A and B are shown apart, each in its own frame.
Chain A
Amino acid sequence: MRVNKKSLLAAGAVAVIATLGLASCAGGDSGSEGEASSSGTLTVWVDAERVDALQAAADAYSEEKGVKVELVGKDNADIKDDFIQQVPTGKGPDITMGAHDWLGELSTNGVVAPIELGDSAADYLPVAIDASTYEGTTYMLPYAVENIAVLRNADLVPEAATSFDDMIAKGQAAGLTQPFVVEQGAEGNPYHLYPFQTAFGAPVFGSNDEGYDPTDLQIGNAGGEQFATWLGSQGKNGTGVFNTDIDGDIAKQAFIDGTAAFWLTGPWNVGAATDAGINVAIDSVPSPTAEVASPFAGVKGFFVSSESKNKVAANDFLVNYIGTEDVQLELFKAGNVLPALSAAAETASSDPIVAGFAAVGAEAVPMPAIPAMGAVWQYWGIAEADIINGADPVTTWQKLAADVQAAISK
């Protein structure tokens, strides 16, 4: 066959198709990073920052049990949605790292398999086990417990505050106009305000022996109204302690600059403060009432895919490897978040910062993982922001409760 001059173009076109073919094979056939293989390889999706921390455990497991463990670093923001979408197609990983408040969504979508912790369940912090359980079934192997606490600039205020008013007074005595900062933003930030809400005795949901009960909405009770009234008195038309213009960055800057002595935030911000040379002490959240101010606890852990072809190896790897003190401590070093295993938590608490967060965490309650919580988040922050900005507290709060109720029973 003679080749005419158009062959050059033809070849170019063929090259394009080849690329396309490759692309479609990569996209269509093997999913993105990991296809659940029939045997011999466990694919684990891990938050990209923790790949190194897990690598040693993965290698050790491969060596001992002959099952290859492939760690795939993923952007934390994409893991949940990718997992939900890929598992039903049979792609997806065998195991994924995640947070306990995904549980309701994962379970409702049928993409997670139960995990039996057996007798080792008693070795974990109780809040971690509570958070890993959904409707009475355990789905997650916990590795870290995270909660917010008050960071105090110990050079400005040497002693911990005994109550909310005491905190403001101590800060003002140190010559600060805005002693306490907490991130809010235009749509509010109920996660950071929750400790104060619990101090007034207004949890979001009541609970039964299977965990939070979505049919028992508690947010609008009398305590909730008291909290709303108090919040309004600390807002724009009151003392101005809470301000929706203060977002995460502004709060951080105020604390780092020393213009605020108290900062209600999580362990993820401690590094920024100590790097800036602030002498940080960790205090429990000063309560505006006589009751304890309990923040939400967020628990991180690992889930097994319901479509995994390697469930036995996956369970073995999680319960008997990730659940050991050494691995939990490795993960602790990567993220500086309190380990979920009691023994590891004790070791990690030799660090005063970690011990401080752990002490506050002992008072924390797990963030509800039930899907009904989604309806709460939609309205919660905006109602709080309205109250801070001067809306009538009680009516705004009652409307919040009514909106949430309507959205749940929809």
Chain B
Amino acid sequence: MSTTIDDEVSVETPQKPTKKQRRAANIADAASGGLKMLLAKLLMLGLVDAIAIYGVIILASAEQWLVAAIVAVVAVIVNWIYFSRRKLPAKYLTPGVIFLVVFQVFVLVYTGYIAFTNYGTGHNGSKEQAVSSLMASSLQRVEDSPTYPVTVVDQGGTLGLLVTDPDGEALLGTNDEPLAPVDAEMDGDKAVAVDGWTTLQFGEVVTRTDEITALAVPFSDDPNDGALRTPDGSSAYLYLSNLEYDEAAGTMTNLDTGTVYSDIGTGAFTSDSGEELLPGWQIVVGFDNFVRAVTDERLAGPLVYVTLWTFAFALISVASTFFLGLFLAIVFNDMRMKGRKYYRVLMILPYAVPSFLSALIWAGMMNESFGFINQVLFGGASIPWLTDPVLAKFSVLLVNLWLGFPYMFLVCTGALQSIPEELQEAATVDGAKPWAVFRLIKLPLLLVSVAPLLIASFAFNFNNFNVIYMLTDGGPRDSNAPIPVGFTDILISMVYKVAFTGQTRDYGLASAYSIIIFVIVAVISVIAFRRTKSLEELN
């Protein structure tokens, strides 16, 4: 190691260094990068620390203590690792681990967390936000009440509204004091200042928005007369609220009907008759989403055949693309084939176009009345490529084959070329027919390297949202199903429809489904990988 050489140099050469020693020192310097590298390293670490400190300050001011602590700890660890003389593996691993945590682990953990909550439309924020939103929307302007020009005034930190009533009289009130007549200085028809109070300019009004939003001046001693509020600092309106929040009891009372809505732990104020006030708030609901995903009768029926079709779609897609790719790879690997290079480029073309774009183009070409396929290839026949349940499944598989075979072609070409020619020659000499050579020698050897990719391809197609969404959008719709699911929907596109279409989103349910799908794919992959291990014994 360079440091050892360096130590020897400094310790064992008190006199003028010999030529050999100088050369050794030079090598050490060159290897270590010298002062410039040190400066660069300090600069980089300084930058990281600066960003970390900035992040911690921002997070702390937002009271995100946990995240702030994590950022601080990570920053300290990073400094410790890179200032240490050892920790060589850690120096290599740290960036990767951080990326892994941010982009993979966090996403997984967060999805898992959401799956156990009721996050979705109507349960979007915290309880405080729900309460303040309900209170704000419960304010009703008193019918036929006039617009009051107002001036916001301040006395020792207490805000008041200086109101000009329709008769031109000036009135003053605060949150605690109902409106009372005062002698005010008038500007035209509007009272603008009063003795003992400071008039707020618009800039000050803006900076004290929170107080002004909370400012409700009672119209009289009787609370049923309502209160004046000003939404913009220059005019006020008389409002009555039809909801009352009792913080101690945690209940909302509708003042018009007398209905009491209480927090019964479902994430929304609920009346005795089960009526919910929305917005509600987010709570952890345990396994509710998972239970609902498999037992809700609206979802469970379609779930069975969608799952079956998903398996069929993934398996057939893998098999068809693999065999077509393999066939073409063998054909183009044959030395007797002329112009192989050009054909190979052509084969890759579908791979070069983004799949969602080509899927859209295919959707256009398969239009029953106007599509290229029916109009040109079938002479104007009206074949319902995308609107007949069976034909639509076939079309999806066909398009996915078109999109997927170039990948298999590439993989198989590479794998075939790595199989030694001698094996084939030896087999031929021994009298084996070409098919036997392929089936007994080439294919098993090929599968050793390709099988893991086939499993990955299965996992990919299991969640191949793009093709389904862009080509048929799951259609044709099954008009008998209670949810908007179609005959070509696979699990992931069904989840998308259940959770994200229409005006109600259900992120909790979607996350629960994602986890279920993840488990299915993981189990299948593990089993398949174990079985392919036996292939490796061939080598």
Contacts and interface: CB of A to CB of B under 8 A. Distances in A.
Interface stretch (A111-119, A194-202, A269-277, A341-349): A111-119
A10 B207 contact: no
Contacts of A21: 48, 51-52, 55
Nearest to A320: B232
A118 B237 contact: yes
Contact of A39 (B139, B209, B231, B234): B209
Contact of A104 (B85, B205, B503): B503
B477 interface: yes
A3 interface: yes
Nearest to A379: B484
Given A118-B147, A137-B137, A406-B482, A306 B235 contact: no
Interface string B289-301: 0000000001000
Contact of A18 (B44, B475, B479): B44
B32 A109 contact: no
B368 interface: yes
A24 interface: yes
Interface in A297-327: 306-307, 309-313, 315-316, 319-320
Interface string A181-208: 0000011000000000000000000000
Given A21-B55, A118-B237, A7 B232 contact: no
Given A8-B33, A13-B94, A67 B206 contact: yes
Contacts of B132: 306
B473 interface: yes
Given A39-B207, A114-B137, A136-B140, A3 B477 contact: no
A362 to B, nearest CB: 27
Contacts of A375: 502
A7 B129 contact: no
A93 to B, nearest CB: 15
A5 B33 contact: yes
B231 A312 contact: yes
Interface in B282-323: 298
A20 B475 CA distance: 41
Given A17-B95, A319-B232, A382-B484, A312 B205 contact: yes
Given A3-B34, A14-B44, A306-B129, A243 B369 contact: yes
A290 interface: no
B404 to A, nearest CB: 24
B92 interface: yes
A81 B60 CA distance: 27
Given A65-B202, A245-B368, A14 B51 contact: no
B502 A377 contact: yes
A107 to B, nearest CB: 7
A110 B55 contact: no
Contacts of B482: 403, 406-407
Contacts of A250: 367, 370
A1 interface: yes
A109 B124 contact: yes
A22 interface: yes
Given A105-B121, A110-B129, A309-B209, A382 B2 contact: no
A22 B44 CA distance: 13
A78 interface: no
A306 B125 CA distance: 11
Interface in B40-90: 40-41, 44-45, 47-48, 51-52, 54-55, 58-59, 62, 67, 78, 82, 85, 88
B154 interface: no
Given A109-B124, A406-B482, A25 B41 contact: no
B140 A137 contact: yes
Interface in B110-150: 121-122, 124-126, 129-130, 132-134, 136-137, 139-141, 147
B206 A40 contact: yes
Nearest to A309: B209
A310 B231 CA distance: 11
B59 A15 contact: no
Nearest to B203: A66
B3 A316 contact: no
Contacts of B212: 312
Nearest to A113: B136
Given A39-B206, A108-B122, A316 B234 contact: yes
Contacts of B209: 39, 309-313
B476 interface: yes
Given A4-B32, A29-B58, A316-B232, A14 B41 contact: yes
B479 A187 contact: no
A389 B139 CA distance: 49
B99 interface: yes
Given A10-B91, A18-B51, A105-B121, 15 more contacts: A2-B32, A4-B1, A7-B37, A13-B82, A13-B94, A17-B94, A20-B99, A65-B206, A84-B505, A88-B129, A109-B122, A110-B130, A186-B386, A186-B387, A311-B231
Interface of B: 1-3, 6, 31-35, 37-38, 40-41, 44-45, 47-48, 51-52, 54-55, 58-59, 62, 67, 78, 82, 85, 88, 91-92, 94-95, 98-99, 102, 121-122, 124-126, 129-130, 132-134, 136-137, 139-141, 147, 202-203, 205-207, 209-210, 212-213, 230-235, 237, 278-279, 298, 367-370, 386-387, 473, 475-477, 479, 482-484, 501-505
18 contacts: A5-B31, A7-B37, A10-B82, A13-B94, A18-B51, A20-B95, A28-B67, A38-B207, A84-B124, A109-B125, A110-B279, A111-B133, A114-B136, A135-B137, A244-B387, A312-B205, A319-B231, A371-B121
